[in-house]
């Protein structure tokens, strides 16, 4: 029999989810069979959906040899730090994601992505010690496209990660703002509300009628900051957070983002490529405003975090508007 005591970094999660993370090499069918027959919580049988709390004692009726096989981990993959830090404390890290870097790994890149770089940085600092953690890994709560730069928010411990996930998911907590340059002279604020559908195979999004039963609501607020000679510097506030939302919403409204090869205007893109060597969308997640926050990060209420434009985007902005 193996006994485990739930730590603060493991609490407030379902039994099946804890076991999936802890028994990394176990199949789902094994996990569910284990819960039915060979797991007790504080001496009592649990269910798949049973919530675990700090201090709970799990008894797993398996051998140590079997446990070793199921929990054997691969070596932690280190990644060289390429990001800047906009804000950090004991609970939160806000990274400035550079151009061309994935937020998470995917089938094409499993090592050098922002999440791995942040984990490597925290290991080096001593803020995260993998051998002491059975299931917790510092993780981002928002994501940016590979070629979108800017602020990505990470939880450094389980309590803060759960709170940040709630705050990003629910309205009334964290407002996310972007800077972009669009084609056209946008003179008044746009409040855009439409439905969208995603073509997964082509990785494209399209705007569909509001009465479309399958479409998902997307809502965007675009505020012009400066306009000159057919270009406008725009602050965009995300009300919802759909795939490619800002890019498709502004293009559909007649103000495509410069450099955007998927949704932009080819004639404009040719000009900005010739003039600035810009070949991807000018889009930067530059500000997070914490309207409200919950424990253990309630101290963030009312705080604003700002990330500077990367040098190449700053130069384009300066050339067009100064």
Domain residue ranges of the chain, discontinuous segments joined by + = 2-71, 84-169, 174-321
Residues 250, 237: contact at Cβ < 8 Å?
A: no
Quote the pLDDT of residue 213: 82
With cut-offs at 50, 70 and 90, classify the pLDDT of residue 74: low
At residue 276, what are phi and psi to the nearest 5 degrees?
A: -120, 0
Mean pLDDT of 199-215: 84
With cut-offs at 50, 70 and 90, classify the pLDDT of residue 246: very high
- Give the class (CATH, top level) of 174-321: alpha beta
Quote the pLDDT of residue 261: 94
On the question of pLDDT at 215 being above 90, the answer is: no
Mean pLDDT of 203-230: 90
- What tokens appear for 160 in the block? 């803060």
Mean pLDDT of 116-145: 92
Q: Report the distance separating Cα 85 and Cα 207, nearest Å.
A: 35
Q: Evaluate whether 2-71 and 174-321 have a shared fold.
A: no
With cut-offs at 50, 70 and 90, classify the pLDDT of residue 257: very high
Quote the pLDDT of residue 308: 92
Mean pLDDT of 93-112: 86
On the question of pLDDT at 76 being above 70, the answer is: no
Pick the CATH number of 84-169 from 3.30.1010.10, 3.30.2320.30, 3.30.2350.10, 3.90.1720.10: 3.30.2350.10
Q: Environment class of residue 231 by beta-carbon count within 10 Å: exposed (0-12), middle (13-18) or buried (19+)?
A: buried
Q: Helices (DSSP H) in 72-224: which residue ranges?
A: 114-125, 158-169
Quote the pLDDT of residue 155: 97
Residues 255, 281: contact at Cβ < 8 Å?
A: no
Write down the pTM of the prediction. 0.86
On the question of pLDDT at 131 being above 70, the answer is: yes
**Residue 12: active-site member:** no
Quote the pLDDT of residue 107: 66
Catalytic residue among 145, 211, 260, 295: 145
Q: What is the dihedral of CA 115, 116, 121, 122, to 10 degrees?
A: 70
Mean pLDDT of 118-146: 91
Quote the pLDDT of residue 241: 86
Quote the pLDDT of residue 78: 78
- Residue 76: closest CA among 31, 108, 124: 124
- What tokens appear for 139 in the block? 């993780």
Quote the pLDDT of residue 8: 87
- Residue 223: closest CA among 174, 282, 182: 182
Fold of 2-71: 3.10.290
On the question of pLDDT at 108 being above 80, the answer is: no
With cut-offs at 50, 70 and 90, classify the pLDDT of residue 163: very high
Place of tokens 């080819």: 266
The mean pLDDT of the chain is: 92
Q: Report the distance separating Cα 37 and Cα 245, nearest Å.
A: 46
On the question of pLDDT at 222 being above 90, the answer is: yes
Mean pLDDT of 146-164: 96
On the question of pLDDT at 287 being above 90, the answer is: yes
On the question of pLDDT at 75 being above 70, the answer is: no
Mean pLDDT of 274-297: 96
Helix (H) or strand (E) holding 140: strand 139-140
At residue 131, what are phi and psi to the nearest 5 degrees?
A: -70, -20
On the question of pLDDT at 175 being above 90, the answer is: yes
Quote the pLDDT of residue 135: 85
Quote the pLDDT of residue 202: 83
């Amino acid at each position: 029999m193996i006994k485990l005591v739930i730590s603060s970094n493991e609490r407030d999660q379902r039994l099946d989810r804890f076991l999936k993370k802890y028994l990394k090499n176990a199949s789902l069918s094994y996990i569910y069979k284990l819960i039915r027959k060979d797991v007790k919580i504080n001496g009592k049988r649990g269910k798949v959906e049973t919530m675990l709390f700090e201090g709970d004692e799990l008894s797993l009726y398996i051998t140590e040899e079997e446990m070793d096989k199921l929990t054997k981990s691969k070596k932690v993959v280190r990644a060289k730090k390429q990001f800047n830090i906009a804000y950090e404390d004991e609970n939160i890290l806000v990274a400035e994601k550079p151009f061309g870097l994935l937020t998470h790994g995917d089938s094409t890149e499993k090592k050098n992505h922002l999440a791995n770089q942040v984990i490597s940085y925290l290991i080096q600092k001593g803020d995260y010690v993998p051998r002491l953690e059975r299931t917790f890994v510092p993780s981002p709560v928002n994501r940016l496209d590979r070629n979108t730069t800017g602020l990505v928010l990470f939880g450094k411990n389980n309590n803060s990660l759960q709170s940040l996930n709630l705050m990003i998911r629910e309205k009334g907590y964290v407002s996310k703002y972007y800077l972009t340059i669009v084609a056209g002279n946008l003179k008044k604020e746009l409040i855009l509300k439409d439905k969208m559908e995603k073509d997964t195979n082509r990785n494209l999004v399209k705007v569909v009628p509001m009465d479309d039963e399958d479409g998902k609501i997307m809502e965007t607020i675009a505020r012009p900051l400066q306009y000159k000679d057919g270009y406008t510097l725009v602050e965009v506030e995300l009300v919802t957070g759909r795939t490619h939302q800002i890019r498709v919403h502004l293009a559909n409204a007649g103000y495509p983002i410069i450099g955007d090869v998927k949704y932009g205007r080819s004639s404009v893109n040719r000009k900005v490529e010739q003039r600035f060597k810009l070949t991807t969308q000018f889009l930067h997640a530059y500000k997070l405003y914490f309207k409200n926050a919950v424990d253990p990060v309630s101290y963030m209420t009312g705080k604003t975090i700002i990330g500077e434009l990367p040098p190449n985007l700053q130069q384009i902005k300066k050339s067009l508007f100064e």
